Amino acid sequence: MTRTHFDLTGHRALVTGSSLGIGRALAEGLAEYGASVVLNARNETRLHEAADILRGRGFDVAEAAFDVTDAAAVETAIARIEDAEGPIDILINNAGMQFRAPLEEFPTDKWDLLLATNVTSAFLVGKAVASRMITRGAGKIINIASVQSELARPGIAPYTATKGAIRNLTRGMATDWARHGLQCNAIAPGYFKTPLNQALVDDPNFTAWLEQRTPAGRWGDVDELVAAAVFLAGPGSSFVNGHTLYVDGGMTASI
């Protein structure tokens, strides 16, 4: 094992939902290890602000504003990125959302939105990028799962369903695409301080529960996800496929 197993120099990564939170942290982390990164979001202002921050740190950054739940928009955007920037070697399907409500009261439109944002987007972007990776005989796809791929909590059953789907979609991607030279894996974060979790971070009762429930006794910091992403994006994971790597402070290991 050498440092080249983690060297991403000369590779290009697309990270969906990367204007803030986990997505932006992962994009920056890949850039620190040498990758050129393409940021994605629907909000062009926020996307441009994130890109400017990373460019200010000397990284090679491009922007791609498109809706990851729109099949036609995804295909157009992926074609444009590869034409303008070059081949996408690494894809991180990070785009996601949360909506909390008791299951018996959960709005149907929010169910549809969660499925589209958390699952359909990974299918659409994954398929568009993989079809090009397959012709090149190589590629890395990393889907962002969750501890909710394994566990459930009150009020988020549909989110849990989407993250369980991501875990098995990852397995399906590996099963279909490994023979073409692709490695398809997932990272399953525990509870991290992100905009998506801000309401929970601000709730002292929830934080107290989390600290007691998680063996590490604390919230995670998004920077603690970077090494997992670099490993799965780099040459060192060439025989890792269909795996979900839990980065959760021990939560899924403990009862």
Catalytically active residues, by annotation: 159
Q: Which residue type does 85 have? A: E
Write out the E strands in 50-129.
61-65, 90-93
Q: How many C-beta atoms lie closer than 10 Å to residue 172's C-beta?
A: 15
Q: Could you give the CA distance from residue 70 to residue 193 in angstroms, rounded to a whole number?
A: 29
H or E stretch at 113: helix 108-115
Burial class of residue 167 in the structure, from the number of CB atoms within 10 Å of its CB (0-12 exposed, 13-18 middle, 19+ buried): buried
User: What is the chain's alpha carbon radius of gyration, rounded to the nearest angstrom?
Assistant: 17
Inter-residue contact 190 to 178 (CB < 8 Å) = no
Inter-residue contact 173 to 139 (CB < 8 Å) = no
Q: Residue for token digits 């932006």? A: 24
Q: What is the DSSP string of 15-58?
A: ETT-SSHHHHHHHHHHHHTT-EEEEEES-HHHHHHHHHHHHHTT
CA of 128: how far to CAs of 91, 103, 228, 252, in Å? Answer: 11, 33, 24, 32
